[in-house]
Amino acid sequence: MNAVLASAFWYLGRGTGVTALVLFTIAVALGIGVRSGRPLAGLPRFGVHQLHRTASLLATSLLAVHVGTLLLDPYAQLRLVDVVLPFAGAYRPLWLGLGTLALDLLVAVVVTSLLRDRIGRRAWRTVHWATYAAWPIALLHTLGTGTDASTTWFRWIALVCTVTVAAAVLWRLTVTDPRRGLQSEQQPRMATSSGVGGLS
Amino acid sequence: MSGTRTRDRTAARLHIDWTACEARGACLELLPHRLTTDDWGYPRPRDGGSEILLHARDVPDAEEAVALCPRMALTVLRSPGR
Amino acid sequence: MTGPTIAPVGVSAGLYGLVAASVGDLDAHLRSLGAWPRLDPSAIVALARTAGLTGRGGAGFPTARKLESVAAAPGGPAVVIANGGEGEPCSGKDAYLLRHGPHLVLDGVQLAARAVGARQAHVYARDAGSGDAVAAALAERARAGLDTVPVEVVEASGTFVAGQESAAAAAVQGRPAVPSGAPERVFERGVRRRPTLVQNVETLAHLALLARRGPAWYRSVGVPEDPGTFLATLGGAVVRPGVVEAPHGMSLGDLLAIGGGLSEPVRAVLLGGYFGTWLTWPDHADVPLARPWLRPLGADLGAGVVLALPTRVCGLVAGAQIARYLADASAQQCGPCLFGLPRVADLLARLAACETSPGLPTEIERVISMVRGRGACAHPDGAARFVHSTVTTFDDEVRHHLRGGCTVRRAV
pLDDT digits (tens, 9 = 90+) for A113-159: 999 988 988 899 999 999 999 999 999 999 887 677 788 888 999 99
The answer to whether residues C226 and C198 belong to one domain is no
Question: pTM of the prediction?
Answer: 0.88
**CA angle, C287 then C292 then C297, to 5°:** 60
CA dist list (Å): C288 to C62, C253, C258, C305: 20, 9, 15, 16
The answer to whether residues C300 and C379 belong to one domain is no
Residue at C300 is within a domain: yes
Chain C residues with CB under 8 Å of A180 CB are none
Q: For residue B50, what is the domain's CATH number?
A: 3.30.70.20
Rounded Cα distance between C255 and C234, Å, is: 9
Best A45, A57, A126, A185 residue to mutate vs chain B (most B CBs within 10 Å): A45
The answer to whether residues C104 and C241 belong to one domain is no
Residue at C335 is within a domain: yes
Radius of gyration in angstroms for the set of CA atoms belonging to chain C, rounded to a whole number: 21
Residue at C411 is within a domain: no
Q: What is the pLDDT along chain C (412 residues), one digit of tens a residue?
A: 333 434 344 343 334 678 778 887 899 999 889 999 999 999 999 999 999 999 999 999 999 999 999 999 999 899 999 999 999 999 999 999 999 999 999 999 999 999 999 999 999 998 899 999 999 999 999 999 999 999 999 998 889 999 999 999 999 999 999 999 999 999 999 999 999 999 999 999 999 999 999 999 999 999 999 999 999 999 999 999 999 999 999 999 999 999 999 999 999 999 999 999 999 999 999 999 999 999 999 999 999 999 999 999 999 999 999 999 999 999 999 999 999 999 999 999 999 999 999 999 999 999 999 999 999 999 999 999 999 999 999 999 999 999 999 988 644 4
Q: Which of C276, C310, C344 is the last residue of a domain?
A: C310
Q: Is A46 on the interface with B (CB under 8 A)?
A: yes
Rounded Cα distance between B23 and A183, Å, is: 10
For chain B, how many structural domains are there in total? Answer: 1
The 3-class secondary structure across chain A, one letter per residue, is CCHHHHHHHHHHHHHHHHHHHHHHHHHHHHHHHHHHCCCECCECHHHHHHHHHHHHHHHHHHHHHHHHHHHHCHHHCCCHHHHHCCCCCCCCHHHHHHHHHHHHHHHHHHHHHHCHHHHCHHHHHHHHCCHHHHHHHHHHHHHHHCCCCCCHHHHHHHHHHHHHHHHHHHHHHHCCCHHHHHHHHCCCCCCCCCCCCCCC
Rounded Cα distance between C363 and C80, Å, is: 43
Q: Is B72 on the interface with A (CB under 8 A)?
A: yes
Rounded Cα distance between C386 and C175, Å, is: 30
Residue at C7 is within a domain: no
Residue at C11 is within a domain: no
The answer to whether residues C162 and C140 belong to one domain is yes
Best A46, A113, A128 residue to mutate vs chain B (most B CBs within 10 Å): A46
Q: For residue C170, what is the domain's CATH number?
A: 3.40.50.11540
Of C1, C309, C318, the CB nearest to A194: C1
The answer to whether the CB atoms of C159 and A195 lie below 8 A apart is: no
For chain C, how many structural domains are there in total? Answer: 3
Which domain, by its residues, includes C231? 222-310
Q: For residue C358, what is the domain's CATH number?
A: 1.20.1440.230
Residue at C295 is within a domain: yes
The answer to whether residues C381 and C364 belong to one domain is yes
Q: Which of C188, C218, C248 is the last residue of a domain?
A: C218
Of A183, A191, A198, the CB nearest to C335: A183
The answer to whether residues C246 and C358 belong to one domain is no
Q: Is C185 on the interface with B (CB under 8 A)?
A: no
